[in-house]
Amino acid sequence: MTTENWLYDIETLRIERKINQALFLKEIVSDRQYRRYLNGESTPTLTIFLKLLERLNYTLPTFLTYLETKKMKHNQQFDQLRFAMIDFDYTTSKVLIKDIKSMQLSNDQIETLRLYETLIDFYEKLGQNEQLDKTRVENILNETNVLSLLNHTYYSSSTFSLVNLLMNKIFNLLDQEKQQRFLSFYLDFIEDRKFVLDGDTLENKQMVYSYYVSAIYGRSYISEAETKKGGQLIKDAILLTKETLMSYNLMALNYLNSSMCYLHHLNEDAKKSLFYTFMSVFGTGNSEGILPSFKLAFSQVTTSQVILKDFKDELKRHLEKDTYYQEEVLSYNDLSTCAG
């Protein structure tokens, strides 16, 4: 990101719109000075830059959106890769990585590709050797510097997403002290000590709730107070989706609710949430990629036979009776009965 590049984009837009240069610069800056800006011999002030943008009918945020959109077109495959990684769809991820490697990439993109490859490799070898798994987690922590990222106050959404992606992939293998650091990280957002700068405030709140709850229930030891708080936040976060429309979060939240209910033998709520978990998996369009992870995850709390039966029963219920999701959520158990 340099001023010179931005001015070049401004100049391209001016030419595209066939605006006469003298008219474009009138009462803002001289032709000569403008050429010096374009050649990188001088830098405009913020005021001049904003005036030039105004002549093109842009504000700074809309101009930056224009640049982002332009960049996005070039980075379409990279975005697909990001979503495939979030979906645990490593087969697609590997194909995309191979394609992307033949493209011209920025240093940041090269770094991200390297991280994705490390995570894929990590997952493919996971469980073969417990000691080795721990060493590789340490390597990921060192390479990504993620623990030092946890100490900031302000986060851009891309940095926040990076922390979330890593937390999701390696959390269970961290020692108690490091798990606690992730928990404190999310709690700091909930209690307004940390902030995500961009994006929709409500969506950010929902993500923080979801990741905090995942972090609570991802540990081997959960206190009574945490069980209660986590349960309440699950319900709050699910209710928030009525406005945020974040269906991926529903998948994670319903899974957490379901597995906690199975664990505590709250079978009616467990199977309701199980059904909604799977329906949100279908919603992604990648059920084949995601379901194996859930098979593994649910095996900790119940059997495949129970899952099959509960899913079929629930589907039957929804096909025989008029049901409405938001109404059902209101009557969810908030897990507070599990405390203790």
Instruction: List the one residue from 2, 30, 128, 148 that touches other proteins (CB under 8 A).
Output: 2
DSSP type of residue 155? E
3-class SS of residue 256: helix
Question: What is d(CA 47, CA 274) in angstroms, rounded to the nearest whole number?
Answer: 56
Q: Is residue 72 a contact residue for other proteins (CB under 8 A)?
A: yes
Amino acid at 118: T
Residues 321-340 interacting with other proteins (rule: CB under 8 A): 321-326
User: Which amino acid is present at 253?
Assistant: L
Residues numbered 216-235 forming contacts with other proteins, rule: CB under 8 A: none
Query: Of residues 19, 55, 80, 239, which one binds other proteins by CB under 8 A?
Result: 80
Total binding residues for other proteins by CB under 8 A? 76
Shortest distance (Å) from residue 70 CB to other proteins? 8
Min dist. Cβ of residue 231 to other proteins (A): 21
Q: 182 near 160, Cβ under 8 Å?
A: no
Name the DSSP class of 154: E
Taking CB under 8 A as the criterion, which residues in 28-47 touch other proteins?
Answer: 43-47
Nearer Cβ to other proteins (121/198): 198
Asked if 157 touches other proteins (CB under 8 A), the answer is yes
Instruction: Pick one of 39, 129, 139, 158: the residue that binds other proteins (CB under 8 A).
Output: 158
b/e for 197-231, b at 16 or more Cβ within 10 A? eeeeeebbbbbbbbbbbbbbbbbeebeeebbbbbb
Q: Out of 280, 332, 333, 338, which residue is the one contacting other proteins (CB under 8 A)? A: 280
245 binds other proteins (CB under 8 A): yes
Q: How far is the CB of 43 from other proteins (least distance, A)?
A: 4
- CB–CB of 339/225 below 8 Å? yes
Radius of gyration of the chain (CA): 25
Residue 282 contacts other proteins per CB under 8 A: yes
